[in-house]
Amino acid sequence: MASSVSGAEEVRVSALTPLKLVGLVCIFLALCLDVGAVLSPAWVTADDRYHLSLWESCWKPAASATWQCSSTLGTDWQIATLALLLGGAFLILLSFLVALVSVCIRSRRRFYRPVAVMLFAAVVLQACCLVLYPIKFIETISLRIYHEFNWGYGLAWGATIFSFGGAILYCLNPKNYEDYY
């Protein structure tokens, strides 16, 4: 660990701690999961006849072999769900870029707090999205057959959980932990 003194202030240059490195990996995984969730064709499925994503709703009539699809961007709650998820994904992308830049430069500590704040904001946006979606889906869409929330919805939850983990890791006090490495 190297240190230089300028005036009465000490500036430390230290190696990247394992906690921050794991936090960066969590942010990257959250970003990948968000991309998968946004692009997923299956947020809700029902009996191989119905698929609902953030972008379109597709169903297959019983007597037909072709799928019929329509846009889901016609209702306010589906637009709000998409906007909340994309807003959270944007904050995760921004926090990933800031965290990546902080790895490349020598003064890292000043970036820890903004990364954590952006990640917590992303968690709030995405949690609101993931609570709003099933409530409004059940309230407005009446499927008379068995349906389930599928892997696209699960990917969004995974992104939210990894974002929360990354935020916690970036909140840990670097003054207490960096001295050990």
Structural domains of the chain, count: 1
Is residue 137 within 8 Å of 45, Cβ to Cβ? Answer: no
pTM: 0.81
**Residue 117 belongs to a domain:** yes
Instruction: Give residue 35's pLDDT.
Output: 95
Does 67 map to a domain? no
Read off the pLDDT of residues 107-158 as tens digits, 9 standing for 90 and up: 667 788 899 999 999 999 999 999 999 888 888 876 666 778 889 999 999 9
| Distances from the Cα of 123 to the Cα of 119, 154, 159, 181, angstroms | 6, 15, 9, 29
Q: What is the CATH number of the domain that holds 172?
A: 1.20.140.150
Task: Give the torsion through C-alpha atoms of 85, 90, 93, 95, to 10 deg.
Answer: -100
Domain that residue 175 falls in: 17-44+76-180
- Token duo for residue 16: 């990247």
Does residue 5 form part of some domain?
A: no
Q: Is residue 66 part of a domain?
A: no
For the segment 104-108, the average pLDDT, to the nearest whole number, is: 70
Answer yes or no: are the C-beta atoms of 22 and 114 closer than 8 Å.
no
